[in-house]
Structure 1
Amino acid sequence: MTTKLSLATLDTVERTAGVPAYGRGSLKAGIVHFGVGNFHRAHQAVYLDDLFNLGRDHDWAIIGAGVLPSDAAMRDKLAGQDFLTTVVEQDNNRSGARVTGAMIGYLAPGNAAATIAQLCDPAIRIVSLTITEGGYFINPASGLFDPAHPAIAADAANPDDPKTVFGLILAGLRARRDKAIAPYTVMSCDNIPGNGEVTHAAVSGLARLSDPDLADWIDANVAFPNGMVDRITPATGPREIGIVADEYGIDDAWPVFCEEFRQWVLEDRFPEGRPALETVGVQFVPDVAPYEHMKIRILNGGHAAIAYPAALLDIHFVHEAMEDPDIRAFLAKLEREEIIPVIPPVPDTDLDDYFALIERRFSNPKIADTIPRLAQDGSNRQPKFILPSTADRLARGEDVVGLALVSALWCHYLAGTTDSGRPIAFNDPNIERIRAAASAATTNPGAFLELKDIFGTVATSNRFARRFTHALNSLQQKGTRATLKAYLDDRLVN
């Protein structure tokens, strides 16, 4: 028998899971968060729940905000359980469930007026985002904000009826400026190098298209701290919902599963104040960049590296990929020989030890993170997680055999079938264009490198083109397994 999750049933839920030590009535909103997905509920919301459980800072509760039509389903599920979430933390040796209550409301997508009104409330002092790497309207090749994107152009033409996250944030800032209310801090929690700077560029860049004076005001008055976030959080499906019901007796419409490890490194730039997150483990540092480079290139780059060989070999779970000796050795050789050597030093951190931690985290069977999740959205993830390491090595005159193989594996994956002939299901906003290039690459490998908005200057390197072509030819002629073995034996050269 299960208990439907709600504020009224917490006394029953407490028999099998941790529950908030604070009452909902004690909380007041201080944060509006765009992008209420699994990662946010396993990360930022958990840190705030920890803080509230200490009896601290109850005026920093979260109001969720939807933008996309798909956000309505999440809002409905959470509203049906009083915005509570069951978070199941799973380590190799233990599992445990807790219910978090840091969110107290959720603005429906499609109602710009209500969202802007909430953003104009002086009590809201932070606006945070987890909108994925592809949500920032960045030109992949230049790494800069793209003011010509149709969605941005539409918001610039209709600033009073915005449709994008940045249009809504901008409208809220405009309203606060006009009413002489101090601006909120805008805090990105996405895996993008310099995520605060990227967010600043998007908000200010959009403003400059229609109201240059507002853009100048934003540049002078609004804080956009950089931050690094980390916690492996797989997607929720029937399996996860069933485990929560069977093992904990909780009927949760959309629980979150995650690893036990978590990390959050932030610049301390919050002019209107912030919750005391340092008391629950958040690191506040003068410069986040070293931590970002380490995490994005070693962890996210590692995920991107193993995703495509695992997919091509019909491996479904990440821990199963790490059990494959060729994939595990491929990851280790790539990281130690090509990725880690071009990462700047990180304070009080040994990069080899950090990679050893990543190997253990990837190998955790209880997380049940999936290869299809890692393989999705390659057109946004490759330029952020893999190609920067490639570009750095080329700029130093160093070889890129392994990194070129990663790009070739992605191209070969886009051909559409695994090595055993199974069809591949894709999830990428640019899938038609990149698949066309991958198809052309079956006879002309250079056709894939013509995706200049993705490969940028890397595509102009003769060394990279030669390594990529050789790796792709090997994948097409010999298959994934043989190509991995050739790389491991230092035979994937031409």
Structure 2
Amino acid sequence: MTRTVALPAYDRKALTPGIVHIGVGNFHRAHQAVYLDDLFALGEGHDWGILGAGVRPTDARMREALAAQDNLSTVIELDPAGHRARRVGAMIGFLPVEADNAALIEAMSDPRIRIVSLTVTEGGYYVDASGAFDPTHPDIVADAARPSAPATAFGAILAALRARRAAGVAPFTVMSCDNLPGNGHVTRSAVVGLAELLDAELAAWVKSHVAFPNGMVDRITPATGPHERDLAQGFGLTDPVPVTCEPFRQWVVEDHFPAGRPALEKVGVTFTPHVHAYEAMKIRILNGGHAVIAYPSALMDIEFVHEAMANPLVAAFLHRIEVEEILPHVPPVPDTSIPAYLSLIESRFSNPEIADTTRRLCLDGSNRQPKFIVPSLRDNLAAGRMPKGLVLLSALWCRYCFGTTDSGQVVAPNDPNWSALQERSKRARANPADWLAMTEVYGDLGRHPALVGEFGAALEAVWRDGAEAVLRRFLAE
């Protein structure tokens, strides 16, 4: 018997656009879109409908798939007690994906649009190892050379802001929904940094008039594949792009929206000036924890995250690093127990229904390690403590990038910089310091003699004995 699917509890035809969202991937559709769907069901905020947008070829494929189902997204919550499916109707249109972003710029210039939000991944913000905006990136240089036909999201945002300014229309708020420390600050740096390459007066206006609230977002959302499509089929839905996710979700945002915002506090969003504390807790404990379990598990040919958590060595490795090397450097969070939060994270990672893969967690380490792991490495060293677990994790990442598991299985490319990482991993086998010399990842830590020595010993052990043996030895110490 086909199971029940919850449908939008409001008239979608009554929605009007208030938000343009760039990057309509799984996370956005299981997070921001769900919160708005809940709000609309209360009979509120119907002038905050979402227009989807994108700047990459994959966005065009998503647009085509969603257009065929009236821009409805299937979201399936994978609770061990039972699956729940809903059709989320918060997105009322998906803009054409064009090389010059003309349709996107025109839509963002519309006075009805008061928020432009983004999920363009951690690596999509054009920052260097220090987290600063990189004006020399080829994409940014190209946008600066053709400001009326930009290829990047930030170029399009700037073009729309410029058009609104010229027309005397108040600017929209730019809201990042990506997992980045200070994501609002990072987004502001990208928009202002690009503006400074074009027009100093425009850059000054953006600084003074455009809001970039910081926010923390959280929901585990696996990639879509045959398993997820089969789950949708079990609800009687033939959907090429269903989203599966855990029941838990969280959104914490600074309340800085001069052009107005939907009343999302009515559906569970936390508005607070203390976003940085929530953010540090989540990025270090959850995202950092993902990396801790990902690389040893992948080298041990463990496919799924819940299987990794069922492995006593991996689970103990995660817990020890969290307790000894990560939690001591997480600042206090209002009304939150940090140890209880860790317990929640370990429980979420162990959910067998999610079927999240270790390969997904290993993805894009060159952009994730500097944000999720290196800050904890740096804090431990600054406190006079050698974080042996995090150093071992770096060695395991290096070994993973060699391109084979301990059993000899080939690892398919899994990073935008895979070729360069693979070559560096090969060199690091003979000269471990070469790995830490990646300043775009480790900054100046490669010049820390004790760290270099500890990393070299860890990498040698990983190569000699394999991931399982080094975890066993580390936990026995």
Q: TM-score scaled to structure 1, two decimals?
A: 0.95
Aligned letter for 2:281? M
Partner of residue 81 from structure 1, selected from 56, 59, 69: 69
Partner of residue 426 from structure 1, selected from 413, 420, 432: 413
Partner of residue 124 from structure 1, selected from 113, 122, 125: 113
- 1:94-119 alpha-carbon deviations (Å, 9 max, x no partner): 21101110000011211522111111
Report deviation, 1:452.
1.4
**Is structure 2 residue 292 aligned with structure 1 residue 283?**
no
Aligned letter for 2:437? E
SS in structure 2 at match of 1:295:
helix
C-alpha contact (below 8 Å) 1:224/1:269 kept by paired residues: yes
**Is structure 2 residue 296 aligned with structure 1 residue 342?**
no
**Is structure 2 residue 410 aligned with structure 1 residue 410?**
no
After the TM superposition, which residues 12-411 of structure 1 pair with which residues of structure 2 at under 5 Å, given as runs? 16-110=4-98, 112-139=101-128, 141-245=129-233, 247-411=234-398
Distance across 2 between alignment mates of 1:228 and 1:402? 26
SS in structure 1 at match of 2:9:
coil
Between stretches 45-54 and 340-349, larger displacement belongs to 340-349
Aligned letter for 1:396? A
Q: How many residues were matched structurally?
A: 476
Between stretches 201-210 and 420-429, larger displacement belongs to 420-429
Between stretches 295-304 and 108-117, larger displacement belongs to 108-117
- 1:142-167 alpha-carbon deviations (Å, 9 max, x no partner): 21000000000000111000000000
Distance across 2 between alignment mates of 1:55 and 1:190? 28
Distance across 1 between alignment mates of 2:472 and 2:200? 56
Distance across 1 between alignment mates of 2:464 and 2:367? 28
- 1:250-280 alpha-carbon deviations (Å, 9 max, x no partner): 1122110000000000000000100000000
C-alpha contact (below 8 Å) 1:390/1:458 kept by paired residues: no
SS in structure 2 at match of 1:124:
coil
Distance across 2 between alignment mates of 1:215 and 1:118? 21
Distance across 1 between alignment mates of 2:342 and 2:445? 25
Aligned letter for 1:319? H
C-alpha contact (below 8 Å) 1:387/1:458 kept by paired residues: no
CA RMSD of aligned residues (A): 1.0
- 1:163-220 alpha-carbon deviations (Å, 9 max, x no partner): 0000000000000000000000000000000000000000000000011111000000
Report deviation, 1:120.
0.6
Q: TM-score scaled to structure 2, two decimals?
A: 0.99
Counterpart residue number, 1:482: 469
Distance across 2 between alignment mates of 1:251 and 1:453? 43
Distance across 2 between alignment mates of 1:442 and 1:280? 51
Between stretches 465-474 and 362-371, larger displacement belongs to 465-474
SS in structure 1 at match of 2:216:
strand
C-alpha contact (below 8 Å) 1:319/1:365 kept by paired residues: yes
Aligned letter for 1:439? K
C-alpha contact (below 8 Å) 1:437/1:451 kept by paired residues: no
**Is structure 2 residue 438 aligned with structure 1 residue 451?**
yes
User: Runs (4+) of structure 1 moved beyond 2 Å?
Assistant: none
Distance across 1 between alignment mates of 2:33 and 2:71? 11
Counterpart residue number, 1:10: none
What's the % identity of the aligned pairs? Answer: 59
Aligned letter for 1:374? L
Report deviation, 1:374.
0.5
Aligned letter for 1:414? C
Q: Which runs of 5 or more structure 1 residues have no equivalent in the other structure?
A: 3-14
SS in structure 1 at match of 2:429:
coil
SS in structure 2 at match of 1:441:
helix
- 1:411-462 alpha-carbon deviations (Å, 9 max, x no partner): 0111111111111112211112111111001111111112111111221212
Distance across 2 between alignment mates of 1:26 and 1:50? 15
Distance across 2 between alignment mates of 1:489 and 1:399? 17
C-alpha contact (below 8 Å) 1:311/1:371 kept by paired residues: yes
- 1:359-402 alpha-carbon deviations (Å, 9 max, x no partner): 00000000000011000101000000000100111111112100
Counterpart residue number, 1:7: none
Aligned letter for 2:378? A
Aligned letter for 1:295? K
Q: Which runs of 5 or more structure 2 residues have no equivalent in the other structure?
A: none
Between stretches 179-188 and 392-401, larger displacement belongs to 392-401
Report deviation, 1:130.
0.3
Aligned letter for 2:430? T
C-alpha contact (below 8 Å) 1:400/1:467 kept by paired residues: no
Distance across 1 between alignment mates of 2:76 and 2:231? 10
Partner of residue 473 from structure 1, selected from 460, 464, 472: 460
